[in-house]
Amino acid sequence: MLKVCKFGGSSLSDAKHFKQVKAIIEADKDRKCVIVSAPGKGEGERDKITDLLYLCFQHNKYHVEFDSLFERVEQRYLTIKKELNIDYPIENDIKDIKDALKAGEMTEAKLVSRGEYLCAKLLSAYLGYSFLDAKDLIHFKFDGKVDEKKTNEDITKAFSKVEKAVIPGFYGSYPNGDICLFSRGGSDVSASYFAEALDAYLYENFTDVSGFYMADPRIIENPLKINEISYDELRELSYAGAQVLHAETIIPLMEKRIPLEVLNSNHPEEGGT
């Protein structure tokens, strides 16, 4: 019996948010499968790590110096590690990434995926959970579609060997091992594949709003909250641009009718949709 929990970038933007996430996970023993995005914007943080990594790649491609950009990425992880006293040598991983980029050994997808990878490494060490790499679990075919059978099998196999794990969202790999990304916001979709493979009784999607509203609360003041919504209505809203969930999130959930709850990591007590 487990729940799949996904935490978006806004829920992991800094050490304070990492602490909140830990408290949420530890409040329920069923929260055994945790999918994370890369740290996003927050109170004192103006950058999304994913955006910075795309920028680093482009700078390097055109031989423009990117050290100061990369340092902004590095500092985010080092600060979280330091403030929470996390006993994991994340600086070694970061150095390897930078060296590989400079040596021309990184595809854009691989570099960008490191945002989620590093975040999952830190969070797994902080929680005392296992780390599982999405490249070994989420399999894409060369046409860019997910190989559902292989993905299902490998997720099930991996979870027969670990009890609790943190997994980076947003990416998987092609049959030749190269990293492949979902489209932006795709960690929502990664988590759905885990929910399906593991027969989760609930997929909790933690973000920075207390559920789905009639309109984007960043644009419309005090929109009404939707307490319950069907898969079809949700898909329509997502395709119409409601950013809170990636439009493909529900596809892996529908057949097994796995319920999805959108919750606020800053106010989980408020309930959601």
Q: Quick one: which segment of 18-26, 160-168, 174-182, 241-249 binds ligand ADP (CB under 6 A)?
A: 241-249
Considering the complex, state which of residue 151 and residue 207 has its C-beta at the smaller distance from ligand ADP. 207
For residue 26, give every residue at least 6 positions away whose Cβ sits within 8 Å of its Cβ, in sequence order, or none.
Answer: 127
Q: For residue 168, give the nearest of 179, 152, 156 by alpha carbon.
A: 179
Closest distance between ligand ADP and the C-beta of residue 205, in Å? 7
For residue 218, give every residue at least 6 positions away whose Cβ sits within 8 Å of its Cβ, in sequence order, or none.
Answer: none
- By CB under 6 A, residue 218 contacts ligand ADP: yes
Pick from Mg ion, ligand ADP, ligand ASP, none: which does 217 bind, CB < 5 to 8 A by kind? ligand ADP
- By CB under 5 A, residue 185 contacts Mg ion: yes
Q: For residue 103, give the nearest of 52, 56, 60, 49 by alpha carbon.
A: 60
Pick from ligand ADP, ligand ASP, Mg ion, none: which does 212 bind, CB < 5 to 8 A by kind? ligand ADP
Distance between CA 180 and CA 109 in Å, rounded?
Answer: 6
Percent helix, percent strand, percent coil in the chain, to nearest 5: 45, 15, 40
- By CB under 6 A, residue 12 contacts ligand ASP: no
User: CB count, 10 Å around CB of 186?
Assistant: 20
Using CB atoms, what's the residue nearest to ligand ADP? 8
Pick from Mg ion, ligand ASP, ligand ADP, none: which does 74 bind, CB < 5 to 8 A by kind? none
Per-residue binder mask for ligand ADP (CB under 6 A), 9-38, x = binder:
xxx-------------------------x-
* Token representation of residue 210: 């207390």
Residue entry with tokens 């292989």: 150
Closest distance between ligand ADP and the C-beta of residue 169, in Å? 9
Pick from ligand ADP, ligand ASP, Mg ion, none: which does 186 bind, CB < 5 to 8 A by kind? ligand ASP
Closest distance between ligand ADP and the C-beta of residue 1, in Å? 25
- By CB under 6 A, residue 213 contacts ligand ADP: yes
Q: Quick one: which segment of 62-70, 94-102, 148-156, 179-187 binds ligand ASP (CB under 6 A)?
A: 179-187
Query: Which one of residues 8, 40, 172, 272 is an interface residue with Mg ion (CB under 5 A)?
Result: 8
Residue entry with tokens 């060296």: 99
Distance between CA 159 and CA 219 in Å, rounded?
Answer: 41
Q: For residue 176, give the nearest of 103, 102, 107, 96 by alpha carbon.
A: 107
* Token representation of residue 234: 């949700």
Beta bridge partners of 262: 205
Distance between CA 94 and CA 162 in Å, rounded?
Answer: 26
Considering the complex, state which of residue 101 and residue 181 has its C-beta at the smaller distance from ligand ADP. 181
228 SS3 class: coil
Per CB under 6 A, residues contacting ligand ADP are: 8-11, 37, 40, 185, 207-209, 212-213, 215-218, 242-244
Per CB under 6 A, residues contacting ligand ASP are: 8-9, 37-38, 48, 50, 115, 169-170, 184-188
